[in-house]
Amino acid sequence: MINIYPPSIIFTVINVLFLFFIMKKFLFGRVMDTINKREELLKGRFAEAEQKSIDADAKKTEYEQKLSDAKTKAEELIEEAHGTAAAQREKILAEAEEDAAAIREKAKSSIEADRERAVKEVQAQVGILAVAAARKVLEAGEKKGEKA
């Protein structure tokens, strides 16, 4: 059986209190300082991480804005290129129309010149034939006049 002696209990309590005060003075203060320093360090790191997260979000937003601006500019450039291409197409078509009209006009002039030349040749031939026919008629008239 356990024997409990009051002086032993008092001595144990005094030892425990003495050990507690010594540990409090030398150990608990340093441990608490270390814990507080670590806590401050962690708070600083969390604050730094939060700030970096905010900065990253800001950069992401800026990147998205630049990307959106680039897409808009690309669309504008494409539209401008389409407009330029359409204008060039219209210009080329107009030039082709002018060239075709000039070719048609030249062909008409050539045809007209050929027709006029053909008419003159026909007129010349008709004139020659008329003179030949008139000669034959005169010759035939002279032959009849000699016979009569």
Rg, Å, the chain Cα set: 61
Distance CA 37, CA 29 (A): 12
Q: Is 4 helix (H, G, I), strand (E, B) or coil?
A: coil
Rounded to whole angstroms, the Cα distance separating 34 from 141 reads: 155
Start-to-end CA span in the chain (Å): 199
Q: What is the pTM of this model?
A: 0.45
Per-residue pLDDT 10s for the chain (148 aa) are 577 788 888 999 999 999 989 888 888 888 888 999 999 999 999 999 999 999 999 999 999 999 999 999 999 999 999 999 999 999 999 999 999 999 999 999 999 999 999 999 998 888 888 888 888 888 877 777 666 5
Ranges of beta strands (E only) in 42-142 are none
Q: Which of 117, 96, 115 is nearest to 107 (CA)?
A: 115
List the structure tokens of 117.
């030349």
